[in-house]
Structure 1
């Protein structure tokens, strides 16, 4: 990663132009979010302009205070000035609060809206998207990018309007009082504009690299947390720490480049401005010019010129905020434009399953050269139990994923009740399934609410308790102080693997779907618990279709049919007894399983 840190700086011109087009589109799209709050934005802009007008206009009173109040010893002018100072600062404070609060409110609403849209998008993306994108980068989008998008843009708008109005007011006062001296200062404007343009391009490049490095930091941190136990047991803490140090240092370097660009632009602009101020002083030293200037006028122009340095400095920094916001906008809008799960089906799967049919099903995962399934054909009668066995990677779990449409199978290759599954509405299709995988996902809630989770109907406490009993959850729940009301922690961290699987099985029992898929669902259970579970499914799977994916052949002896898969192909099928009698692939697996 560190070796490629300059790659963005060497992009061809057409790539940079394309990037510029994307940024322009993102900018226009971002504006639509702010236009939803037009009234509040108008109030903020009016207050912000008033603040700048008052802030810069204070300098105008320098001239009468010096020429009238001090030069002519006019006490009434000084007294009036004292009252004006209080009024000016009162108005200044009021407009400052109004503009800052209104802009902060709009910015927070935009962040909220975009982050919510991104989270909702996350829930409807196809499974293949998550295969190609790390969780760390996705978390960074929702947390870092969404915040940068609105906050940076709002900060940029505030600075642009506030400082531009201040500059305009100061230049107007200078030009009105001495156009000759003002022209000298205006000569440097094109030079400053050129510097700001160069700095802007530099900020854009670095902001993109900084965004990528933040995603890398998030991903590395997440992986360290998830794999902390393995890291300790394998004694790889030093190796992981060194890798994170490289990533962390790369992130630091990008931040420093951003800060260095900002830091060097400020003194350069101020140095150029200092030449203009020096020229004004030299011109004012001319006796002819000096006679035309009053002390108040000269002081006003000089203070105004000095006051111009701060807004010019702020405007030179604006690109740092603006480019970070636009880079985040490009990232977020690209994510929001990702295609959701394909769901063009219009039919509703509401009746019981009578048949599940696979017809010449072939499937290859994106990025893989070897197909996971090859010309797989099978018919499963509704109300029967079928077990799929084979070596790891043979394609068993792929069948379940395709049946659930987590991945899209070729059209007209999988049928339920003689209708291709792509013709069914996704929600109605999945409502007919209860899926228990080997990777159990639990929510940070009670045992009872985890059993209820995903049930598409109102469930009574009695039903939850019965499902817990049937799945052998009550055996360990009764030993807990709060029973089924016990909190399980993040993803059930307070539970063992077997306990977590029993909760998932209880969830499937309560769902009462017509098709039940068990993907290594009993792999973490001891023999005693597994026996209870098998008995429960025997009772509850009457008139339901049960599909079992298993490595432990001892758990599938009583199913109606066993389907043996090897390297994506169906090689044998039959009952346990029939397959043993064939003395084929299944018997070899069974013999090895017993040894």
Structure 2
């Protein structure tokens, strides 16, 4: 549109050419139509690219989350991880979809306007070139400021997410301990810090735009002064002079846009650094190629030692044990003795030293993770349920297609039907988030039903009946007897009365095997096991 200013003034008005003015009237409509079409196309394209980038990066980040080793989650809080998938992906998509497109568009506009200015008067355009380095210097300073604040803002968002999540997860304890005011004050501190970082970001944006426009206004003033010189004035037509002034004024908008997207770009760069570091994290070790597909598996722990990251005290020290296929072994000991660590290493939730754990005389790292874990049914005291129906929770993770009859049979064997029969929707009843609509004992029965349905070769029970009453435990023990028939069973227990029937009991203290044998033999030794038994 600016390009037609010169002929309209010089020809249409200066020479009273009505034909030029009539042509201009038609061009105005056509130009604005094309401008509107281009605006719609670019806006839609930007929205499409932005949503596509967000979708792809968020999907990659979520998939990465699923394959990280357990140790990574021990060292990083959940709020920070949630912030990466939600907040960081959003910042990155805005920067490298919306902001990049705007940057290209505004840069093209600047180059076109600048070319028209040079064509009409290179002398006046020189004034503009003088202020460009000054504007570039300001943008550079502002960029560094944006980057510094964006890094703090990103960290602050992680703290807000983490504190919110903890408040939701621990709502009952917060109410019972009467700490609502204390938790609210802690959140207020974090929330206010986040607000302050946002205000710093907005203040930097707010001050940078007026400064850039003020410098540009000096350039326009200088153009007017230079144009007053006779030598320059004689070379200009009214149309050329008007075109240059309009072009310089029009440059303020793209310069402002570039300054604004600088904020987005810096936040995007910080988010990109965080996300790409996350995506580069080492996934679970899974270089094994062998397949574990047996019904009666032998297990060997060979001089196993293990220390958790961030600690100096070994969880296990020189632990050796042979477990024959089809036998049941119970591990007992005090809290922190290393019992659960054995199960975690066997399941490869943590990476054990090579050649320290064997199944059927093959090191577990030589098996693929999927085939190894497919042969395990793991029931712990920390039951994880999905927000779905009872039936879907029982079949969750089953490595084969199961029928409704099989699900009901597993539920019956695990004594789940004892409370399901009173529910209007039966097994189609939703359990709520992590089973909040169920009691601890009911949740544990569902986990046992899941293990029964899985029909794995190796059963690991980590305090599997700790939340059950004596009546329910009696029924569950009968179900477990059927479940564990002709299978290798590892039981971790504090309640010694529940393990007297096993083939062998292994006593662990401070990560070392100190006693082993059947219940009667260990009780007769008058050792550590006898002391544990008498304490109960």
Query: TM-score, normalised to structure 2's length?
Result: 0.97
Q: Is residue 2:211 matched to residue 1:271?
A: no
- SS of alignment partner, residue 473 of structure 2: helix
CA separation in 2, counterparts of 1:183 and 1:429? Answer: 73
In structure 2, what is the equivalent of residue 197 of structure 1? 140
- Give how far 1:292 is off: 4.0
CA separation in 2, counterparts of 1:514 and 1:363? Answer: 25
In structure 1, what is the equivalent of residue 473 of structure 2? 530
- Give how far 1:284 is off: 2.7
CA separation in 2, counterparts of 1:130 and 1:544? Answer: 32
Confirm or deny: 8 A CA contact 1:353 1:416 kept in the other structure.
Answer: no
Q: 2:92 aligns with which of 138, 144, 149?
A: 149
CA separation in 2, counterparts of 1:173 and 1:442? Answer: 67
In structure 1, what is the equivalent of residue 525 of structure 2? 582
Q: Is residue 2:461 matched to residue 1:552?
A: no
In structure 2, what is the equivalent of residue 106 of structure 1? 49
- Give how far 1:291 is off: 4.5
In structure 1, what is the equivalent of residue 82 of structure 2? 139
In structure 1, what is the equivalent of residue 396 of structure 2? 453
The Cα offsets for residues 335-393 of structure 1, whole Å up to 9 and x where unpaired, read as 11111111222221112334211122111111111111112122222212111111111
Structure 1 unaligned spans of 5+ = 1-57
CA separation in 1, counterparts of 2:49 and 2:114? Answer: 31
Q: 1:116 aligns with which of 35, 47, 59?
A: 59
In structure 2, what is the equivalent of residue 475 of structure 1? 418
Matches within 5 A, 1:67-216: 67-216=10-159
CA separation in 1, counterparts of 2:217 and 2:480? Answer: 85
CA separation in 2, counterparts of 1:490 and 1:79? Answer: 70
CA separation in 1, counterparts of 2:331 and 2:124? Answer: 89
CA separation in 2, counterparts of 1:129 and 1:330? Answer: 18
Confirm or deny: 8 A CA contact 1:155 1:321 kept in the other structure.
Answer: no
Matches within 5 A, 1:298-309: 298-309=241-252
321-330 vs 105-114, greater mean Cα deviation: 105-114
Matches within 5 A, 1:71-470: 71-287=14-230, 289-470=232-413
Q: Give the root-mean-square deviation of aligned CA atoms.
A: 1.5
Confirm or deny: 8 A CA contact 1:515 1:545 kept in the other structure.
Answer: yes
The Cα offsets for residues 117-158 of structure 1, whole Å up to 9 and x where unpaired, read as 111111111111111111111111111111211221122222
Confirm or deny: 8 A CA contact 2:124 2:223 kept in the other structure.
Answer: yes
CA separation in 2, counterparts of 1:354 and 1:173? Answer: 81
CA separation in 2, counterparts of 1:352 and 1:269? Answer: 75
In structure 1, what is the equivalent of residue 509 of structure 2? 566
Confirm or deny: 8 A CA contact 2:50 2:98 kept in the other structure.
Answer: no
CA separation in 1, counterparts of 2:119 and 2:318? Answer: 86
The Cα offsets for residues 230-269 of structure 1, whole Å up to 9 and x where unpaired, read as 1111122222222222221222222222222211111111
- SS of alignment partner, residue 300 of structure 2: strand
In structure 1, what is the equivalent of residue 9 of structure 2? 66
Confirm or deny: 8 A CA contact 1:353 1:417 kept in the other structure.
Answer: no
CA separation in 2, counterparts of 1:542 and 1:289? Answer: 102
CA separation in 2, counterparts of 1:395 and 1:480? Answer: 40
In structure 1, what is the equivalent of residue 433 of structure 2? 490
The Cα offsets for residues 20-76 of structure 1, whole Å up to 9 and x where unpaired, read as xxxxxxxxxxxxxxxxxxxxxxxxxxxxxxxxxxxxxx1122223333333444333
CA separation in 2, counterparts of 1:419 and 1:168? Answer: 68
Structure 2 unaligned spans of 5+ = none
- Give how far 1:486 is off: 0.9
CA separation in 1, counterparts of 2:212 and 2:38? Answer: 29
- SS of alignment partner, residue 362 of structure 1: strand
Confirm or deny: 8 A CA contact 2:292 2:375 kept in the other structure.
Answer: yes
